[in-house]
Amino acid sequence: MTTHLSEQVASETPAERELVFAPIPPGRLEEIRAAGVDEAGNRLTAEVDAEGGNPLRCCLLESVPGERVLLLAYTPPGTRGAYAERGPVFIHADRCSGYLTPDRYPPALSHRQQVVRAYDRDGAIADGVLVPDGEHALRVIRELFARPDVTIVHLRNVGYGCYNFAVRRG
């Protein structure tokens, strides 16, 4: 019998729930929107997402066709030196409600194949694992956080390598 992510999350113990699934912090997004430029100095220009289906790093949902979004350069948390990658991410063009259930793997992104990438306290890559979906990602995240050298985990898209969200211990 296959367990779905929602069933698996519902049966977790309190210790397993001590993970925080974090979008780009709302305060940081407000700073970027107010500045009108991203971290690389690129001017922010709202565009209409004609097709939808892009992961939004502000609320951890997927865009819907016709939605206004911003594409910006962003450096995810927890990395340093050569591992401090800056890359493209989509966010809502206007402020949104954010991610409201930080104790749950984002359901809207659970169907995605991902790379689960772990980082150590020095901000270097400690491991990387390809997973087919959120159910497998959750299992790998727990295994990685069982290691004492892992301090933060990123979830990244497979095709383009873009950052989706971070996971921390609660």
How far, in Å, CA of 67 to CA of 46, rounded?
10
Give the pLDDT confidence of 22-45 residue by residue, as tens digits. 999 999 999 999 999 999 999 999
Which position has the higher pLDDT, 134 or 4?
Answer: 134
Separation between Cα atoms, residue 122 and residue 125, nearest integer Å: 9
Q: Give the separation between CA 20 and CA 115, rounded to whole angstroms.
A: 18
In this prediction, residue 8 carries a pLDDT of: 45
> Tens of pLDDT along 64-97?
999 999 999 999 999 999 999 999 999 999 999 9
pLDDT of 3 higher than 80: no
Strands, sheet with 150-157, edge to edge from the N-terminal-most edge strand: 19-22, 163-169, 150-157, 114-120, 125-131
Q: What is the mean pLDDT of the segment spanning 7-14?
A: 48
Q: What is the pLDDT of residues 94-126, one digit of tens each?
A: 999 999 999 999 999 999 999 999 999 999 999
Residue 71 one-letter amino acid: L
pLDDT at 149: 97
Q: What is the pLDDT of residue 6?
A: 47
- Distance separating alpha carbons of residues 68 and 16, to the nearest angstrom: 36
Share above pLDDT 90 across residues of the chain, in percent, rounded to a whole number:
89
Is the CB of residue 112 less than 8 Å from the CB of residue 147? no
pLDDT of residue 15: 44
| Average pLDDT across the chain, whole number | 92
